[in-house]
Amino acid sequence: MAEAIHAVHKGSNSHFVGVGNLRVMLVQDGELWFAQAMEIDYAAQGRTLQETQKNFEEGLRLTIHAHLREYQSIEKLLVPAPAETWTEFLKMAAAQRFRYTQVSIHQLGEEFAELKDLFGQIAYLEQKKAA
C-alpha cells in the first residue's frame, strides 16, 4: 500500500516529504515510454525506459516542491489516477509495473537567493538627455 508523509521542521522552511511504495505503470507507445503513478495522478515520459524512470523521479521531486511552495502541503497532489487508468493497470502484466519510493528535503524560500545576489551587482546606467 502506498504511503505519503510530509513534515515541516519548526522554525525553518525545511520540509521533509516521503512517498513510499507508489505503484507505477509503464507503457510503450510507439517510440516513447510513458510512466503513470497510480496512487497520485502524476506521469512522465521519455525515449527509453531508463530516461522515463529518471524523468519520473526528477519530475515528481519538482512537482512536490511546487506543491509545497504553492500550497505549503502535498494534499492536492494525493489524488489517484483516473478510473480508466486503474482498469488498464489491473489488466497489465506484472513486468510492466514497478514500485517507487522517494524521500526528499525541500528548502522553501531559498530558490532565488542566487538571483538576489546577482541583482545586487547590477550597474544601472542613466540615459543622458540629448543636448
Whole-angstrom distance, CA of residue 86 vs CA of residue 90? 6
Contacts of 5 by beta carbon, 8 Å cutoff, 6+ apart:
16, 17, 18, 20
Q: Is residue 131 part of a domain?
A: no
Cell digits for 91?
Answer: 489488466
What's the confidence (pLDDT) of residue 56?
92
Query: With 50 as the cut, is the pLDDT of residue 123 above it?
Result: no
Query: With 80 as the cut, is the pLDDT of residue 97 above it?
Result: no
Q: Is residue 126 part of a domain?
A: no
> What residue numbers bound the domain in which 98 lies?
3-119
Whole-angstrom distance, CA of residue 101 vs CA of residue 99? 7
- pTM attached to this predicted model: 0.74
Domain count, the chain: 1
* 102-120: pLDDT as tens digits: 888 888 775 544 434 444 4
